Amino acid sequence: MSLFKDIIVPELNLTYNQPLGLFINNEFVKSSDDATIETSNPSTGEPIAKFYAASHKDIDNAVKAARLAYQETWSKTTPADRGILLSKLYDLINEHKDVIAAIDSIDSGKPYHTNALGDLEQILELTRYFSGASDKYVKGQYIPVNNDKYALVVREPFGVVAQIVPWNYPAAMASWKIQGCLAAGNCIVIKPAENTSLSLLYMAQLFKKAGFPPGVLNVVPGYGNIAGSALAEHMDIDKIAFTGSTAVGKKIMSMAALSNLKNVTLECGGKSPAVVFKDSNLDEAVKWISMGIFYNSGQNCTANSRILVENSVYDVFIKKFVKYVAENWNISPNIFDKNCQVGPVVSKVQYDRVIGYVNEGKKTLNYKCLNNPETVNECSKRGYFIPPTIFLDVPSTSKLFQEEIFGPVGVITKFSNYDEAVSLANDTSYGLAAAVFSENVRVINQFAKDVRAGTVWCNSSNEEEVSCPFGGYKMSGIGRELGESGMDAYMETKCIHMNISNL
């Protein structure tokens, strides 16, 4: 099999050259055992390409390349040097952004105009952020212990970092991890999700073109139980960062602990609440909450999939919500249609999983599909499309209230007072994010304090900022990304004791 393939995207009149090999030491190479993975377009079910899948031997080769690069070149660069390279990378991503967005559209089913292009704008924003941050966030501390001694606290890169990223934001989630990690001075071995590896393979060549030395970034697609496990267990990896399900996050943490006790950052699942108090601006609440649950076909770890509404405005909220979604969140069989807001879920496996929850809910709960049945039927014949769906009056004991569905499915529940709202909001094993809607500044502030979540949006939802830390409480993970945390997570703390006594 060739290491490259021309791929045509007829809807954009685009033909581009897709890398298919593992990217190790700045070169695309075949897997050692010739193993491959085939990826398909979830909006049509049609195959796109086969690419090489990393074996244990390939992972070891990539780690060796990263270790050598760190020791011989990358550890000797200055923060300013790294910032300059990231700035060059920004220009290259900007030049290729339409192609990268198109790749993520055909590979993951993202609507091109209303979703995939937005991902690229965030990637550009965070690349610019870390290019400027690289020589500003490497901080130290002087501690005057006594007259005969002082201490210096310095921050140093880990060295070789493994990263595993999910399929819901293929290029964006990789960039969340890569850019800050490089700015901090580490070398990387990164595994994209096996069903959405194409965009990161394409982007890999941009790092080389920007001037990053061989071995600094290595991209190793592969199966989780092979390539992912090899990274988590590898004895020469200093840290691993993972984004994905809580179940897999537990396995990553266990393997990291049982190998060389490598440092771990986890960004895992969520079941985020959106709480609507009676004094809120309901039109604004409807707009933000619908985006928070239906954007990216609900495949967001921060999706506000538990919608909690105060009794006295419940019926009005439901009426407004149903009308707004029907008018603004269009499902379309053509993900390149400028009016397409909701695309397919990523795969047959994910489709069956989400439909399983929907069918379970239909047995006992009040169900509403919020799109035209004829359009839904047309889409379902073509790919893995699931329309925006809600369940009403869902009890907190329901499986749909407690478990992460990861699709365009929301559950709506009533509450009678503030205390009940907080209790319902916190009634989850997760704690990634929460949203609250009220015109009462005291209520907003009190809720932000009382809810157990790493991110709280007040009168908005799901608007990440690259300058702000992101991560979760409880079983939503360990550590933070983005902002200063996007570099800090990839640096060790060293204390140097200086004795200046003459005695």
> How crowded is the C-beta side of 16, counted as CA atoms within 13 Å?
23
Locate 307 and state its tokens. 């919608």
Q: Which of 267, 310, 404, 481 is catalytic?
A: 267
Cβ atoms 232, 264 nearer than 8 A:
no
Among 262, 261, 269, 263, which residue's Cα sits nearest to residue 244?
269
Locate 353 and state its tokens. 């999983």
Please state whether 482 falls in left (phi above 0), alpha (psi between -120 and 50) or beta. left
- Note if 267 is an active site residue: yes
Cβ atoms 261, 183 nearer than 8 A:
no
> How crowded is the C-beta side of 3, counted as CA atoms within 13 Å?
10
Give the whole-angstrom CA distance, residue 32 versus residue 425: 49
Give the whole-angstrom CA distance, residue 186 versus residue 490: 7
Locate 450 and state its tokens. 């009382």
- As to burial, measured by CB atoms within 10 angstroms (0-12 exposed, 13-18 middle, 19+ buried), residue 146 is exposed
Among 340, 384, 390, 341, which residue's Cα sits nearest to residue 370?
390
Q: How many residues does the chain have?
A: 503
Q: How many CB atoms lie within 10 A of CB 177?
A: 24
Please state whether 69 falls in left (phi above 0), alpha (psi between -120 and 50) or beta. alpha
Give the whole-angstrom CA distance, residue 429 versus residue 427: 7
Please state whether 26 falls in left (phi above 0), alpha (psi between -120 and 50) or beta. left
Chain center to CA of 453: 17
Helix (H) or strand (E) holding 430: strand 430-431
Residues contacting residue 467 through CB under 8 Å, at least 6 positions apart = 129, 482, 483
Locate 298 and state its tokens. 């609900």
Give the whole-angstrom CA distance, residue 357 versus residue 365: 11
Locate 361 and state its tokens. 């809910």
- List residues with catalytic annotation: 267
